[in-house]
Amino acid sequence: MKNLISVHDVENIHHLLEQALMFKREPLAERSLGSGKKLGLLFMNPSLRTRVSTQIAASNLGMECYVLNVGADNWPLEFREGAIMDGSNVEHIRDAAPVMGGYFDLIGVRTFPSLRDRTLDYSEHVIHSLMKYGGRPVLSLETATVHPLQSLADLMTIREFLPEGRRPKIAMTWAPHVKPIAQCVANSFSEWICAWGQADFVVAQPEGFELNESFLCGARVTYDQKEALEGADFVYMKNWCSYRDYGRVHGSAHEWMMTLDHLKLTNQAKLLHSLPVRRNVEVSDEIMDHQDCLAKNQAANKVWAAQAVLAEILKGQILA
Ligand code: CP
C-alpha cells in the first residue's frame, strides 16, 4: 500500500483485516518495522479516537510520532492555488508540505469538509495537495468524504461478532442531529462493506438525505427505516447532512433516533456508532448503554486498524 486515502488503496481487504486482528492478538509482533521512521499527524479539526489510536499504533511499530494541530501548533494553512494570501491563512501548503515531507517519512491528515462547496469538498483537495507537495505517503485520518481507518475498525468489529454460518444483514440508518454533519463516515462504511462483500447491506434515510451513489456500490437504499431494521444482525447508526441540497438539514425527524422499540425489529442486532455521539438526539441512552452496543469496541479496534495500515505502508516503502 502506498497511501491510504480510501478503500480503493487497499489491495486485499481480507488480508488487511486479518493483519488488524493479528495485531490485536500480538500488538508488538512487528515492533521494529517502523524503527527510525517518523510519522507526522496533521489535525485541522478535533479528534480523540483517531489521534490517540494512531499514535499508539505507531508506537507499537517502533515509529516516532509528531502531532500538529493546524492553526494552533503551526500556522493556519492556505490550500487555494494562486491565492492572494491577504487573509488569515499564513502559510501555503506548497511551502509547508515539502517542509513536512523533509521531516516525516509518512504524513497523516484530518480535515473536515466545508459543507458549503460540494465540488471542492468532494475533490479532496487538502489530502491531494499534501500528497502532491509533501512527496511522502499520506494517510487519511478522516477527510471531507471518507474515514477509512474508522471503516476498517468498524469492519473488524463486525468480523469479531459475525453470526456463525450465515451471511449477516447490515443496516446503516440515518440518525437525527442538531447541525450539519459530514457524509464521510457513512460514505466510507458503505464502500468498505461493499468491498468486503460478505453481507447483505441496506442503507435507510429520510428523503433528501440520499448519499452520493458512487459510495453505495449497489447497496440497497430505502426510505423505510423499519423495513431496513427488520431482521438486521448489525445496525450502524449515523447522522449525515444532505448531499443533494449540500450541507443542509431538512427538519428534525426525531422518530429516526434509535431506541429500544427500534431494536425490537432487529435480529438482536449488534449496534455500531463511530463516536462522538449526541445522546438522546442521534441515539437514546438505552441504546448507547445496551450490552449489544459495540461503540467502545469500535473505538478500541482503531488502534489495530491503524497499525495494520501503517505496517502495510511501511512494508510498501521497504519494497519500493
Ligand atoms: N470516530 C472518530 O474518528 O473519532 P474522533 O473524531 O475522536 O477521532
What residue ranges define each of the domains in the chain, with the CATH number in brackets? 7-146+302-319 (3.40.50.1370), 162-293 (3.40.50.1370)
At 132-166, the pLDDT tens digits run 999 999 999 999 999 999 999 999 999 999 999 99
Q: Which amino acid is at 91?
A: E
**What local confidence, expressed as pLDDT, does residue 272 receive?**
98
CA nearest ligand 1 atom 3, residue: 50
Which value, in Å, is the radius of gyration of the alpha carbons in the chain?
A: 20
Q: Which amino acid is at 126?
A: V
Mean pLDDT score of the chain, rounded to an integer? 96
- 75 vs 273, residue with greater confidence: 273
Distance between Cα 227 and ligand 1 center (Å): 29
**What local confidence, expressed as pLDDT, does residue 319 receive?**
59
CA nearest ligand 1 atom 7, residue: 48
**Which of 44, 47, 157, 302 to mutate for ligand 1's pocket (most ligand atoms within 8 Å of CB)?**
47
Give the helix/strand (H/E) hosting 138: strand 138-140
**Predicted confidence band of residue 320 (pLDDT cuts 50, 70, 90):** low
Running DSSP on this structure, what letter comes out for residue 140?
E
Residue 97 has pLDDT above 70, yes or no: yes
pLDDT, mean of residues 56-76: 94
Query: Which residues 6+ apart lie within 8 Å of 300 measured at CB?
Result: none
- The set of cell numbers assigned to 276 is 462522538
Distance between Cα 48 and ligand 1 center (Å): 6
Closest by CA position to 238, among listed 292, 290, 184, 162: 184
- The set of cell numbers assigned to 106 is 509518512
Give the helix/strand (H/E) hosting 141: none
Report the atom number in ligand 1 closest to the C-alpha of 147: 3
Q: Cα–Cα distance between 135 and 104 in angstroms, integer?
A: 10
Q: Give the start-end residues of each E strand in 35-112.
A: 38-43, 64-69, 77-78, 91-92, 106-110
Distance between Cα 82 and ligand 1 center (Å): 33
Buried b (16+ CB within 10 A) or exposed e, 293-303: bbbebbbbbbb
Q: Cα–Cα distance between 219 and 278 in angstroms, integer?
A: 27
**What local confidence, expressed as pLDDT, does residue 74 receive?**
83
Strands 169-174 and 138-140: unpaired
